[in-house]
Amino acid sequence: MNDETRAKINELLADDSPLLPSEQWAIRWQFGMLGDFQEALVTAIARADEANLLRLHAGFPLQVEAFTAWHKGDLGVRLRKLGLDL
């Protein structure tokens, strides 16, 4: 990761960030900044069918919403527009 990307990530993860917590989590996910449990959770979310995704959402709404926004929404596009090299 280059210095410009690192600075942008720090800005987007700061306390006064304009991003939602789910969007900040997606940044951490995309840049390998999650711990082992969160990485395993991403794998479970990615493999889940709709019924199990609803169950996971009950316990981990932020993570499921972030994953869904990334894969089915425009979160990746919006983060690229903010200057992240994804």
Map out the domains of the chain as residue ranges. 3-15+22-81
Answer for the pair 45, 56: CB distance below 8 angstroms, yes or no. yes
Tell me which residue has tokens 């019924």: 51
3-class secondary-structure state, position 54: helix
What's the chain's average pLDDT? 90
Report CA torsion sign: 29, 30, 31, 36.
positive
CB count within 10 Å of CB 27 equals: 21
Q: Is the pLDDT of residue 86 over 80?
A: no
Q: In this predicted structure, what is the pLDDT of residue 60?
A: 98
User: Distance between CA 4 and CA 73 in Å, rounded?
Assistant: 26
Average pLDDT over residues 13-41: 91
